[in-house]
């Protein structure tokens, strides 16, 4: 865990999740040691509680080894805990919209989880309770946590469902057809498990990783066939427009959307410095307000363009700001592919 945490803290702010998980396991084992009547279980839980607590402290120390040191925690506290301004304005931090089709899968998982835990003959232990409570809260609070919720909760649900199906085979209170159906399900699951157990060890994962790396280095090709496409979706990103920029890059400062800002960094760094990109917390509250004044066409939007001496603007064609710029005589359209449009300020 400590080496992984060292890598994690230098790659993504979600490293805090690793520390929280260690604390959940430490606290869960500590409560188990206090409440269990079985002395053997209580003693084992005490050892595990000490182990996970110590591991959490060591990992916490390792996380300081980053370019910002302890300030990385100050940044997280200031951006996400002390102030809700940024969190309330970034879509991925918003609660999931259960009226959208893709969130229906998350809804089904939550509903089936309630059913599985309700019919299970096996009680949840304290650690499982902690994991379910924490991740359900995080997934309902912020849509970006739904993938992590799935990774953390599905194994618990699977264990309880498997235990329930195994118990049904010999359960005298159920109909014969139910016990037979459960037996068939158990045999099918057992066959899958036997198949998976054939691939234990490090050889197969290492071999699969080497093949995938080779395919990537070969531009997605394997034995003359295209397996992977490393390109960007032209419906989501201004791929054609950036080719125009590369051939005839306008001079001066640029403004584009936060979503496209990250793509421009990928394509042109360090040639182009964007006004804003998807790392909203890194830019701070004040610049986010100015960015919003532009995208929302607030009264001060022209002043922001002048303040930062923006010379050219790249936008989606259906963007409100693009429509407003077309009405101004001091901005000229130099590129339009019906997906992205580029404006240049006239001299």
Can you give the residue ranges of every domain in the chain? 2-197, 204-230, 239-345
How many helices and strands (H and E) does the chain possess? 16, 6
- Confidence at residue 248, expressed as pLDDT on a 0 to 100 scale: 86
DSSP 261-322: HHHHHHHHTTT---S--S-HHHH-HHHHHHHHHHHTT-TTHHHHHHHTTEEEEEEETT-HHH
- Cβ-based neighbour number of residue 294 at 10 Å: 24
313: left (phi > 0), else alpha (psi -120 to 50), else beta? beta
Sign of CA dihedral 10, 11, 14, 18: negative
- Confidence at residue 282, expressed as pLDDT on a 0 to 100 scale: 84
- Confidence at residue 280, expressed as pLDDT on a 0 to 100 scale: 84
Between CA 164 and CA 123 the distance in angstroms is 11
Between CA 95 and CA 103 the distance in angstroms is 11
Between CA 20 and CA 131 the distance in angstroms is 10
Between CA 271 and CA 252 the distance in angstroms is 11
- Token pair 């295209």 in the structure block, residue: 226
Between CA 59 and CA 9 the distance in angstroms is 10
- Confidence at residue 202, expressed as pLDDT on a 0 to 100 scale: 86
- Cβ-based neighbour number of residue 126 at 10 Å: 19
For residues 312 and 248, the answer to whether their CB atoms sit within 8 Å is no
Between CA 245 and CA 193 the distance in angstroms is 53
For residues 4 and 14, the answer to whether their CB atoms sit within 8 Å is no
- Confidence at residue 31, expressed as pLDDT on a 0 to 100 scale: 95
For residues 102 and 113, the answer to whether their CB atoms sit within 8 Å is no
Tokens representing residue 163 in the block: 């235990």
DSSP 92-149: GGSPP-TTSTTHHHHHHHHHHHHHHHHH-SSPPPHHHHHHHHHHHHHHHH-GGGHHHH
How does pLDDT run along the chain (347 residues), one tens digit per residue? 999 999 999 998 889 999 999 999 999 999 999 999 999 999 999 999 999 999 999 999 999 999 999 999 998 888 777 777 777 877 788 899 999 888 999 999 999 999 999 988 888 999 999 999 999 999 999 999 999 999 999 999 999 999 999 888 888 888 889 899 999 999 999 999 898 888 888 888 899 999 999 998 988 888 888 888 878 888 899 999 999 999 888 889 999 999 999 999 999 999 889 999 988 888 888 899 999 999 999 999 999 999 999 999 999 999 999 999 999 999 999 999 999 999 999 87
């Amino acid at each position: 865990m400590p080496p992984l945490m060292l890598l994690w803290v230098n790659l993504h702010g979600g490293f805090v999740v690793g520390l929280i998980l260690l604390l959940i396991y430490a606290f869960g084992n500590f409560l188990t040691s206090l409440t269990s009547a079985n002395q053997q279980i209580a003693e084992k839980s005490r050892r595990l509680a000490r182990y996970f607590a110590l591991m959490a402290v060591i990992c916490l120390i390792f996380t300081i080894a980053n370019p910002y040191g302890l300030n990385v925690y100050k940044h997280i506290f200031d951006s996400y805990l002390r102030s809700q301004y940024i969190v309330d304005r970034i879509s991925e931090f918003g609660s999931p919209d259960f009226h959208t089709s893709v969130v229906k899968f998350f809804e089904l998982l939550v509903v089936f989880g309630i059913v599985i835990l309700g019919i299970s003959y096996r009680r949840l232990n304290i650690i499982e309770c902690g994991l379910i409570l924490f991740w359900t809260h995080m997934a309902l609070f912020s849509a970006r946590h739904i993938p992590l919720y799935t990774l953390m909760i599905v194994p618990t649900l699977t264990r309880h469902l498997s235990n329930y199906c195994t118990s049904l085979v010999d359960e005298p209170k159920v109909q014969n057809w139910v016990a037979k159906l459960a037996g068939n399900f158990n045999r099918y699951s057992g066959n899958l498990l036997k198949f998976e157990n054939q691939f234990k060890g490090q050889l197969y994962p290492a071999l699969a990783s080497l093949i995938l790396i080779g395919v990537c280095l070969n531009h997605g090709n394997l034995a003359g066939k295209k397996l992977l496409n490393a390109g960007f979706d032209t419906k989501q990103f201004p791929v054609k427009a950036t080719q125009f920029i590369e051939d005839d890059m306008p001079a001066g400062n640029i403004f584009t959307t936060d979503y496209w800002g990250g793509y421009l960094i990928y394509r042109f760094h360090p040639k182009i410095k964007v006004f804003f990109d998807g790392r909203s917390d890194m830019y701070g509250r004040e610049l986010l307000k100015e960015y919003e004044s532009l995208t929302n066409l607030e009264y001060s939007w022209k002043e922001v363009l002048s303040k930062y001496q923006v010379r050219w603007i790249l936008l989606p064609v259906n963007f409100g700001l693009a429509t407003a710029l077309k009405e101004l005589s001091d901005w000229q359209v130099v590129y339009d592919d019906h997906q992205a449009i580029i404006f240049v300020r006239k001299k």
